Amino acid sequence: MEWHRVGFRSFWRWKSRRRGGRPTVPPEIRKLIREMSIANQLSGAPRIHGELLKLGIDVGQTSVAKYMVKRRGPPSQGWKTFLYNHADDIAAMDMLVVPTISFRLLYGLLIMGRGRRQILWFGVTARPTAEWIANQITEGIRDRPDIAALPVAKRLC
């Protein structure tokens, strides 16, 4: 039975031997990659890989991604959270065309507050111009200093 154990042991030692392939990343570099990913939480593998190359450490980007600290959630808030947090400060605008009974076209500009879904301003004209739109935006948010669309209105003029 001893010869069987020795043969079995030598077979599995041969089977699990190291065969070529990528060289292993030294433990010091693995530790450095982990520390860099913890210190710079918004940095991804490409940026850390670039910083390591600047230091003269030649490691592949996939190896860097493999040894980085895994994060549980997304790196920043999602759109749903962003809209929930800033709903009171967001205004939506839309231009619409209304045909009249005499087949003339009237153009309307609707400004709506996203927070409570209330209409902030509604303007109608037969000939819209950039100045008219800028004036409507200015009038629509005049009493709302939290909505910062005035730079947009000034650029339209």
Q: Do 66 and 91 belong together in one domain?
A: no
Using a pLDDT cut of 70, give the percent of the chain over it. Answer: 89
- The residue segments making up the domain with residue 146 are 82-156
Q: What is the pLDDT of residue 64?
A: 94
CB neighbours (10 Å) of residue 113? Answer: 21
pLDDT at residue 87 in the model: 80
Which pTM value belongs to this model?
0.45
Domain count, the chain: 2
How many angstroms separate the CA atoms of 112 and 92, rounded? 5
> Is residue 30 domain-shared with residue 93, that is, in the same domain?
no
CB 96 within 8 A of CB 119: no
Q: Which helix (H) or strand (E) holds 46?
A: helix 45-54
**Pair 88, 49 in one domain:** no
Say whether both 28 and 60 belong to one domain.
yes
Q: How much is the mean pLDDT over the chain?
A: 85
CA distance 114 to 111: 10
Q: Is residue 93 part of a domain?
A: yes
Task: Choose the final residue of a domain: 74, 95, 114.
Answer: 74
Same domain, 46 and 93: no
